[in-house]
């Protein structure tokens, strides 16, 4: 207690002296988050939604409500005053020395997939609270206000962050989350207010910038032994549904040359998509994740097969050049197999590049902390991609063991959580100073 | 009435005269079934189990019970006395002139698949009753007894006929039919007696032969405009379950060269099975009918895909040479895709050749009726394949429009039903005389 009071007194003295800025810089560069505490908070949060198959803190569920209460309690313990905006996002503000300046936004989400893990979203959320608490406890006052955000329902399609930048469609509000509750019913349930959604909307200039700390969800950092990923951008996504229609017929009585086998067509298409994606240099990925054959019994040639294609790349060009290739391949295969081909766009996400200057701040922070870095795209979607529409964004990735994600086996080592929070802290400090 | 009495009197006179055998032959060769009646019975039977999605007269259901009562009433109207054997098969006997001779067996089944049609099984069952009725009404007494059979639960795996030639396993008795009722519970429900199953068992020599009239369930006769198919044999079947195990991972964050994509492996295997089957001359068929990808969502690389292979041919050799090819292909593809491959045998049916002499009788009958014929395998399973284990068998196929089967759109034209019943009638007459 006494030591702490002396420390605080020293800080006040320093900021008043002409050496203030220099002393502040030196002191700030030595500032560190409390690693034990942030990892403890992660462990505490993991209690909500814990089940035999993993953590299911799905949006609007009882576990989500309990997790949100826990996070707000942590904010209060950190000396912040949390509020719930009309969308249902949790926000807590740390005032700056120049309250008129736009705030720096940091945060993530704490809702999970069904049978997920305890790091996706949680690391960035607990990390952001920890950064605010570290700043407050150390008496470090930023010029800009700092806002910590926990976006609602990220796993349902970056819902909370999206609604912060655009009005929701009726279709979105009627969408059912994994909890079985619609977004429309979920919002009041978590403390939002459907009649005041506009008041929560943010526009260009409202925030100085947004930093999101997150686990990588891929295995690159873990495999290469690199500590910090500096995200170049969040990939754009195209989802397609492809249907081959043939004719369901008896597997025993229909000669091979008289078949209209939708399964064979779908299999050829799946192989062709993989070959097409790999034939071109680049980091684009293409996946057939779902395939449903009708009628789907051992002794009937499938008459209809529906499959999905997930196409992603940071380069917008990829998202426009591949779909016509898929269409051409589908038509050719339909011709070969005497089936009909149809392809429709299910969903679209444009690539969200991160801000070059902010990336530089992350690299500088990591360097100052002695942590290795590499730039990389984010193949997964994040709340940051929505906020990119109104503010410069950047993302800090920490390694996920084996690249496992959306799984109870998701694991980020405590030291990597601490490293990530420290990089977030210093990136905020540098951004504040610019 | 008078005309009929005169006709019967003439027959008695003829059989007493020295010209008896010749007159009988002439008279018999002119014998025809009542086409309107057999088609009327088919239409009558179609009322039981009729629904919006097709006919569902699944084994042991209320509709099955009602259909069986209808068939037994028809047998009684035909002057037969139906009985239910302990297995639950319906049998009705027309005594022969030499009661000690083994009976000629004719028949089929009346149970259907879920949302099936009104011809598969029904044509052979109604046709067999019609043949017995025609013989009886015309005063044609065969040397051999004639038995009409309606086997129970053919669609559940030729259950009634199989139990006539072998004791059921516990596993079979515990199998659930499409009605949701186990075979064990179904047997007493349809009038069988589980404690006396042995009494219903038949062995080599118990029957002179078995003829089954059936729709083709393929499109060959319909396409070629041929009236009667003379079945060479019922194909042997092997069912396999193939599993590729990779690693479920994020579709966005996992680079193409680091994937262990079970869907890609399954797709390559599906294409390879098709190519292998078609690469060898012959009539073998191979089908991937079911494919299940786990987790099966748009944005996850499937970690496990299970699929089935249905392999059929009349040639036993095919059934032994192809499975090792499949294994080799599966292992090669698993190596290419960094997945694991496993293949297990689900079910086995040996090919059941038909009797050459009986085939000749069917051809002779068709020729006498002015009907074109072609020999062909049966790609589908039938009760005849079970009876083949204890007696010479033969099958008469009639065209099914477009080869459609196991569907509400199943259709055999009335004239083809009549033709088939007439060929059955004359085949029985010829077999009786040999």
Q: Which residues of chain B have a CB within 8 Å of the CB of A252?
A: 217, 235, 237, 285, 310, 312, 378-381
Chains A, B: CB contacts within 8 A come to 186
Is B408 an 8 Å CB contact of chain A?
no
Q: Verify whether the Cβ–Cβ distance A278 to B290 is below 8 Å.
A: no
Q: Verify whether the Cβ–Cβ distance A217 to B250 is below 8 Å.
A: yes
What's the average model confidence in pLDDT over A282-302?
A: 94
pTM: 0.81
Whether the per-residue pLDDT at B411 is higher than 90: the answer is yes
A18 confidence band (pLDDT: 50, 70, 90): low
What's the average model confidence in pLDDT over B105-114?
A: 96
B5 confidence band (pLDDT: 50, 70, 90): very low
At B312, which helix (H) or strand (E)?
strand B304-313
Q: Which residues of chain B have a CB within 8 Å of the CB of A273?
A: none
Q: Verify whether the Cβ–Cβ distance A283 to B255 is below 8 Å.
A: yes
Alpha-carbon distances, residue A271 vs A246, A398, B271 (angstroms): 19, 33, 9
Whether the per-residue pLDDT at B1 is higher than 70: the answer is no
A19 confidence band (pLDDT: 50, 70, 90): low
Q: Which residues of chain B have a CB within 8 Å of the CB of A258?
A: 219
**CB within 8 Å of B54: residues ≥ 6 apart:** B114, B115, B116, B117, B407, B408
B434 confidence band (pLDDT: 50, 70, 90): confident
Give the integer Cα–Cα distance in Å for A250 and A342: 24
A132: its two tokens: 């605010």
Whether the per-residue pLDDT at B206 is higher than 80: the answer is yes
Q: Verify whether the Cβ–Cβ distance B378 to A253 is below 8 Å.
A: yes
Nearest chain B Cα distance for residue A92, angstroms: 31
A169: helix, coil or strand?
A: coil
Residues A258, A262, A266, A267, CA torsion sign: negative
On the CB side of B337, CA atoms within 13 Å amount to 31
Decide the pairing of beta strands B291-294 and B209-215: unpaired
Give the integer Cα–Cα distance in Å for A87 and A65: 14
Whether the per-residue pLDDT at B288 is higher than 70: the answer is yes
User: Terminus-to-terminus CA distance in chain B, angstroms?
Assistant: 34
CA-wise closest residue to B58 among B149, B178, B175: B178
CB-CB neighbours of A121 under 10 Å: 28
Query: Quick one: pLDDT at residue A129?
Result: 98
Q: Which residues of chain A have a CB within 8 Å of the CB of B378?
A: 252-253
B229: helix, coil or strand?
A: strand
What's the average model confidence in pLDDT over A88-100?
A: 96
A406 confidence band (pLDDT: 50, 70, 90): confident
φ/ψ of residue B163, rounded to 5: -70, -15
ipTM of this predicted structure: 0.82
Q: Verify whether the Cβ–Cβ distance B379 to A312 is below 8 Å.
A: no
User: Terminus-to-terminus CA distance in chain A, angstroms?
Assistant: 34
Nearest chain A Cα distance for residue B70, angstroms: 29
Whether the per-residue pLDDT at A194 is higher than 90: the answer is yes
Please say whether the beta carbons of B250 and A267 come within 8 A.
no
Pick the residue of B240, B253, B285 with the most A CBs within 10 A to test the interface with A by mutation.
Answer: B253
A181 confidence band (pLDDT: 50, 70, 90): very high
Alpha-carbon distances, residue A114 vs A57, A58, A269, B246 (angstroms): 7, 6, 30, 21
Q: Verify whether the Cβ–Cβ distance B289 to A308 is below 8 Å.
A: no
Alpha-carbon distances, residue B417 vs A377, B118, B332, B364 (angstroms): 68, 12, 50, 18
A77: its two tokens: 């313990």
Q: Which residues of chain A have a CB within 8 Å of the CB of B399?
A: none
Query: Quick one: pLDDT at residue A4?
Result: 47
> How far, rounded to the nearest angstrom, does the alpha carbon of residue A263 sit from its chain's CA centroid?
35
Q: Which among A21-35, A318-332, A394-408 has the top mean pLDDT?
A: A318-332
Is A345 an 8 Å CB contact of chain B?
no
Average pLDDT, chain A: 94
A249 confidence band (pLDDT: 50, 70, 90): confident
**241-260 in B: which are within 8 Å (CB) of A?**
248-256, 258
Q: Which residues of chain A have a CB within 8 Å of the CB of B235?
A: 252
Where do we find the tokens 């990089």? A423
Q: Verify whether the Cβ–Cβ distance B298 to A289 is below 8 Å.
A: yes
Please say whether the beta carbons of B407 and B117 come within 8 A.
yes
A17 confidence band (pLDDT: 50, 70, 90): low
A375: its two tokens: 């730039």
Find the residue in B nearest to A296 (Cα): B290
B7 confidence band (pLDDT: 50, 70, 90): very low
Supply the DSSP string of A55-73, one letter for each residue: E---TTSHHHHHHHHHHHH
User: A253 vs B101, which has greater pLDDT?
Assistant: B101
Nearest chain B Cα distance for residue A93, angstroms: 33
Is A216 an 8 Å CB contact of chain B?
yes
Q: Verify whether the Cβ–Cβ distance A310 to B251 is below 8 Å.
A: yes
Whether the per-residue pLDDT at B14 is higher than 50: the answer is no
- What confidence tens digit (pLDDT) does each residue in B250-268 have? 899 899 999 999 999 999 9
Residues A63, A68, A69, A73, CA torsion sign: positive
A388: its two tokens: 């990119």
**270-299 in B: which are within 8 Å (CB) of A?**
270-271, 274, 277-278, 283, 285-293, 296-299
Burial environment of residue A267 by CB neighbours within 10 A (0 to 12, 13 to 18, 19 or more): buried
CA-wise closest residue to B312 among B303, B322, B304, B302: B322
Phi-psi region of B314 (alpha: psi -120 to 50; beta: other; left: phi over 0): alpha
Nearest chain A Cα distance for residue B53, angstroms: 14
Phi-psi region of A31 (alpha: psi -120 to 50; beta: other; left: phi over 0): beta
Find the residue in A nearest to B404 (Cα): A249
CB-CB neighbours of A129 under 10 Å: 27
Average pLDDT, chain B: 94
Please say whether the beta carbons of A217 and A405 come within 8 A.
yes
Where do we find the tokens 């309250």? A99
Query: Quick one: pLDDT at residue A188?
Result: 98
Query: Quick one: pLDDT at residue A317?
Result: 95
Domains of chain B: 31-235+351-433 (3.40.630.10), 236-349 (3.30.70.360)
Please say whether the beta carbons of B419 and B221 come within 8 A.
no
B373: its two tokens: 């014929």
Whether the per-residue pLDDT at A5 is higher than 60: the answer is no
Q: Verify whether the Cβ–Cβ distance B289 to A298 is below 8 Å.
A: yes
Nearest chain B Cα distance for residue A110, angstroms: 19
Is A267 an 8 Å CB contact of chain B?
yes
Pick the residue of A252, A304, A319 with the most B CBs within 10 A to test the interface with B by mutation.
Answer: A252
Residue ranges in A200-343 assigned as alpha helix (H): 220-224, 262-279, 316-337
Nearest chain A Cα distance for residue B278, angstroms: 7
């Amino acid at each position: 207690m006494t030591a702490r009071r002396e420390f605080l007194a020293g800080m006040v003295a320093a900021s008043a002296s002409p050496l203030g800025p220099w002393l502040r810089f030196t002191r700030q560069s030595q500032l560190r988050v409390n690693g034990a505490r942030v990892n403890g908070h992660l462990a505490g949060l993991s209690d909500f939604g814990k089940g035999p198959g993993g953590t299911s803190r799905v949006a609007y569920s009882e576990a989500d409500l309990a997790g949100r209460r826990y996070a707000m309690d942590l904010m209060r313990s950190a000396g912040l005053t949390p509020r719930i905006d009309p969308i249902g996002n949790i926000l807590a503000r740390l005032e700056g020395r120049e309250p008129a300046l736009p705030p720096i936004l940091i945060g993530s989400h704490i809702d999970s997939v069904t049978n997920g893990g305890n790091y996706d979203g949680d690391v960035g959320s607990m990390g952001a609270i920890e950064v605010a608490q570290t700043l407050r406890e150390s008496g470090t006052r930023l010029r800009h206000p700092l806002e910590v955000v926990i976006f609602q329902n990220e796993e349902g399609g970056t819902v909370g962050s999206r609604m912060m930048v655009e009005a929701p469609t009726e279709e979105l509000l009627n969408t059912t989350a994994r909890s079985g509750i619609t977004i429309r019913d979920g919002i009041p349930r978590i403390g939002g207010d459907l009649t005041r959604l506009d008041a929560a909307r943010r526009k260009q200039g409202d925030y100085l910038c947004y930093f999101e700390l997150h686990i990588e969800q891929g295995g690159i950092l873990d495999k290469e032994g690199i500590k910090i990923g500096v995200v170049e951008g969040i990939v754009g996504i195209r989802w397609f549904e492809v249907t081959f229609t043939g004719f369901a017929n008896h597997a025993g009585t229909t000669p091979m040359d008289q078949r209209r086998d939708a399964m064979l067509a779908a299999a050829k298409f799946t192989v062709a998509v993989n070959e097409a994606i790999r034939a071109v240099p680049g980091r684009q990925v293409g996946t057939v994740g779902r395939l449903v054959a009708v009628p789907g019994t051992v002794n009937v040639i499938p008459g209809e097969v529906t499959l999905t294609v997930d196409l992603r790349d940071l380069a917008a060009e990829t998202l426009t050049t591949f779909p016509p290739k898929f269409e051409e391949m589908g038509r050719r295969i339909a011709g070969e197999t005497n089936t009909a081909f149809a392809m429709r766009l299910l969903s679209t996400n444009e690539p969200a590049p991160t801000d070059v200057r902010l990336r530089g701040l992350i690299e500088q922070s990591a360097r100052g902390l002695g942590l290795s870095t590499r730039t990389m795209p984010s193949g997964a979607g994040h709340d940051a991609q929505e906020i990119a529409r109104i503010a410069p964004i950047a993302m800090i990735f920490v390694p996920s063991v084996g690249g496992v994600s959306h799984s109870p086996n998701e694991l980020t080592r405590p030291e990597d959580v601490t490293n990530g929070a420290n990089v977030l802290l210093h990136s905020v400090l540098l951004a504040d100073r610019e």
